[in-house]
Amino acid sequence: MSANQPKQEATRRLSSRPSRRDLIKAGAASLAVPAAGTLLGGSAQARPQSSFGAPAIMRQASVNLQVTVWVGEPEFQAMQELAARYTESHPGVTVEFINIVDGGPWGRDQLQRMIAGGTPPDLMMMNTGQFEAFGSRDALANLDERIAADQLDLGVYWPAAVEGCKVGGAVHGLPKDISAHLVYLNTDFFADAGVELPSPEWTWDQYREVCKALVGQDKWGTSIEPAAWSWGSFIHTNGGQILSDDRTECRLTMPESTEALQAYFSVLTEDQSAVPPGALPQTPGGRDQWLAGIIGITMAGPWFRPTVVEADAFKWTVVPYPRPAGGEAPLSVLYTDQWAMSATSDNPDEAWELLKFLGGPDGLTAWGEIYGSRSITPVRELALSDAWLGFGGAEHRPDNQAFLDQLERTVPPPTNFANGAEVENLWNEQFELVIVSQQSVEQAAQIACEAITPVIGQQPSGDPP
């Protein structure tokens, strides 16, 4: 599962929006921005200089570029403004964003139908797991030659962002954003409970004790989820692994891995200081519970900050994940969202120019001006800017810096290979049973590895899972 699960939920809320294209029927909504789009006012802040700039393609014939996305309505509308900025300098080009609102997780199923039916979009917004699945099956264009020909400077990005855009060692996309993960604290919740905020060096034992101390009438310390980006930090910080580096072996049964999983799930299974399963059917998600003041601690990426700032419900801050006693600084699982180009686009040159804009400094600067600070912008200079670091006000500048600091201590996501989505479903199923007390952590790890082993041994073929 990607760290951008809230985006998936947002697209489902758009499912009542009727389609305006017979091509994708009820599976998507589309926006087309013609070349006559209005150029919006730019920021006074200097934009990073790079080799991404390219002259506009001047064509007499009109070129329509289709770009699939899977976003909520506000972000979808903001993309129309982004397209207008691009088409102002590219006469003859129309950019049509197609929002897949009812096509499987992150639009994966509908996108596969489009490709299989011979009507692929020119560009695609993708995320970890989905990106590797399509790339390993040759559905995405290898960009290495184009990058070399245009002398693109990939050094403008955080290194991990570039790695997140590779399949088989070759670049198949440009980064849209990246997400490391931290622990969000409701500081008002802590104050009301008379509990001191934990230090950035807190341990697993201290984490458990803090969660216990926060429990009150219809209040809990935290909420437990089966997602790898939640418990993955515990495993990697403890010296364990989820899968081997080459993604050919399940490592959940390593002693270091099961010890870490036990530390993560014990807040619920042993201490009863996390929300019991089914206790809040109207507010089932951990982040919604945190926003509602039901729990004091939740784990999330920088993509959660805008929701928190817009809610303005209480004071808050972030700290790194807890670590084992005597352990090193925590590691975080890092996820990447990408812009990728179809290997069979009818307009590859024009699509490449748009891709360079969307995933390059100019487009990412424009996106920050239009839509604001969401996840970590993959261009280092933009992330270090006052605009990004100052998001949420001066009091949250240290919190924003903490996300950037965590980039020095990250590991690749365990789903970054062709069958990653299928493998993720397998371990989620088992850890969901741990949450409802139907099996132990050790049993879940063993059963998950038994199911995962034959899947990771398969070579990619056919349709993405």
State the residue for tokens 């939920």: 9
Domain shared by 88 and 216, yes or no: no
Which among 352, 310, 288 is positioned nearest to 5, based on CA atoms? 288
Burial class of residue 393 (count of CB atoms within 10 Å of its CB; 0-12, 13-18, 19+): exposed
Spatial neighbors of 163 by CB under 8 A, at least 6 apart, are 412
Decide: 68 and 98 in contact? Cβ < 8 Å: yes
Domain shared by 82 and 143, yes or no: yes
Domain shared by 129 and 113, yes or no: yes
**Is residue 395 situated within a structural domain?**
no
Structure-model confidence comparison of residues 55 and 218, the more confident one: 218
**Helix or strand run (H / E) with residue 268:** helix 255-269
Task: Work out the pLDDT band at 58, boundaries 50, 70, 90.
Answer: very low
pLDDT digits (tens, 9 = 90+) for 225-269: 998 989 999 999 999 999 999 999 999 999 999 999 999 999 999
**Is residue 20 situated within a structural domain?**
yes
Decide: 255 and 280 in contact? Cβ < 8 Å: no
Query: b or e along 302-336 (b: 16 or more beta carbons within 10 Å of the residue's beta carbon)?
Result: bbbbbebeeeeebebbbbbbbbbeeeeebbbbbbb
Decide: 349 and 57 in contact? Cβ < 8 Å: yes
How far is the C-alpha of 287 from the C-alpha of 283, rounded, in Å?
Answer: 9
Q: What's the pLDDT score for residue 218?
A: 95
Is pLDDT at 51 greater than 90 in this prediction?
no
Among 113-122, 349-358, 441-450, the minimum mean pLDDT is found in 113-122
Domain shared by 162 and 187, yes or no: no
Give the single-character DSSP code of 202: -
Range of the domain at 95: 5-178+335-383
Report residue 226 CA to chain centroid gap: 16
Domain shared by 80 and 174, yes or no: yes
Domain shared by 101 and 218, yes or no: no
The domain that holds 221 is classified in CATH as 3.40.190.10
**Is residue 285 situated within a structural domain?**
yes
Domain shared by 446 and 298, yes or no: yes
**Is residue 193 situated within a structural domain?**
yes
Domain shared by 137 and 209, yes or no: no
The pTM of the full predicted model, rounded to 2 decimals, is 0.86
Q: What's the pLDDT score for residue 32?
A: 56
Domain shared by 137 and 29, yes or no: yes
How far is the C-alpha of 159 from the C-alpha of 171, rounded, in Å?
Answer: 13
Domain shared by 293 and 439, yes or no: yes
How far is the C-alpha of 388 from the C-alpha of 373, rounded, in Å?
Answer: 6
**Is residue 407 situated within a structural domain?**
no
**Is residue 116 situated within a structural domain?**
yes
Among 251-255, 302-306, 370-374, 436-440, the minimum mean pLDDT is found in 370-374
Which among 43, 14, 10 is positioned nearest to 26, based on CA atoms? 14
**Is residue 400 situated within a structural domain?**
no
Task: Work out the pLDDT band at 61, boundaries 50, 70, 90.
Answer: low
**Is residue 158 situated within a structural domain?**
yes
How far is the C-alpha of 163 from the C-alpha of 113, rounded, in Å?
Answer: 28
Domain shared by 240 and 112, yes or no: no
Structural domain total, the chain: 2
Give the single-character DSSP code of 239: T
Domain shared by 210 and 227, yes or no: yes
Give the residue-averaged pLDDT of 369-389: 93
- List phi, psi (to 5°) of 8: -60, -45
